[in-house]
């Protein structure tokens, strides 16, 4: 899976730590993106003042945002180059159809961080969370659940906001256009869903 033992050992300790604090993670993403993970660790810890290279933890952050929040940063090694070509300077977030790089907005930081608060005031997201619950559903299933027929409206009013805010993630995260793609709640989404079904919201 990995080319050398240090990265593998780091991954094992990270998985154990995340499980210890309540995240149900496995080694799938570490295995699928072992080369990216290894080089992201290097970029986060490498500095060379003579060559004007500074620490760059953003790539490692994006790996973990995919893992824990269901975001869809394109985790390809070419985006980690210190002097990339123009084509590879902007690492895209695949979950946003018009995105060519970092997502920015009034509720985000320059690195695309989601809001820290658990709750959302978006009624469409709350409705979608109730529909998904503990299940894994297709777009069609979710559309039927919320009672919406127009696919484009559903994507822009329900699905994309729920994913962007970290409540929903793709089952086949590395293949957004998978023919059997389904969606499920993230850890954050499950926490909010539990409050919804308990009537706390």
Which CATH number goes with the domain that contains 193?
A: 1.10.10.10
72 with 132, same domain?
no
Say if 56 falls within a structural domain.
yes
For all residues of the chain together, what is the average pLDDT?
82
Residue 63 has pLDDT above 50, yes or no: yes
In which band, very low, low, confident or very high, does the pLDDT at 118 lie, cut at 50, 70 and 90?
A: low
Domain count of the fold of the chain: 2
Q: Of the spans 1-10, 98-107, 124-133, which averages the highest pLDDT? A: 124-133
Say if 96 falls within a structural domain.
no
Which domain covers residue 44, as residue numbers?
Answer: 5-88
Say if 55 falls within a structural domain.
yes
| Average pLDDT of span 65-93 | 87
Chain segment 94-116, per-residue pLDDT in tens: 765 444 333 333 333 333 333 34
Say if 98 falls within a structural domain.
no
pLDDT at 6: 84
Whether the Cβ atoms of residue 70 and residue 138 lie closer than 8 Å to each other? no
Adjacent-strand bridge partners of 38: none
| Average pLDDT of span 71-79 | 88
Last residue in a domain, options 68, 88, 108: 88
Q: Using the Cα atoms of residue 161, residue 165, residue 170 and residue 175 in order, give the sign of their dihedral.
A: positive
Q: Which two tokens stand for residue 150?
A: 């127009």
Rounded Cα–Cα distance for residues 138 and 172 (Å):
11
Say if 104 falls within a structural domain.
no
Whether the Cβ atoms of residue 102 and residue 111 lie closer than 8 Å to each other? yes
Say if 33 falls within a structural domain.
yes
């Amino acid at each position: 899976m990995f080319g050398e033992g240090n990265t593998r050992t780091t991954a094992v300790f990270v998985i154990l730590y995340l499980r210890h604090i309540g995240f149900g993670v496995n080694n799938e993403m570490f295995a699928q993106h072992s080369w990216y993970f290894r080089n992201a660790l290097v970029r986060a810890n490498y500095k060379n003042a003579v060559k004007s290279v500074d620490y760059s933890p953003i790539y490692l952050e994006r790996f973990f945002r995919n893992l824990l929040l269901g975001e869809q940063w394109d985790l390809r090694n070419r985006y980690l180059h210190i002097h990339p070509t123009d084509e590879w300077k902007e690492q895209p977030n695949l979950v946003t159809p018009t995105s060519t790089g970092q997502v920015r907005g009034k509720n985000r930081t320059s690195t695309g961080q989601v809001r820290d608060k658990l709750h959302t005031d978006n009624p469409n997201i709350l409705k979608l969370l109730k529909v998904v619950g503990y299940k894994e559903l297709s777009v069609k299933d979710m559309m039927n659940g919320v009672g919406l027929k127009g696919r484009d409206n559903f994507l822009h009013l329900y699905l994309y906001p729920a994913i962007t805010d970290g409540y929903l993630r793709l089952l086949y995260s590395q293949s957004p256009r998978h023919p059997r793609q389904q969606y499920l709640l993230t850890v954050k989404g499950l926490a909010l869903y539990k409050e919804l079904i308990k009537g706390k919201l």
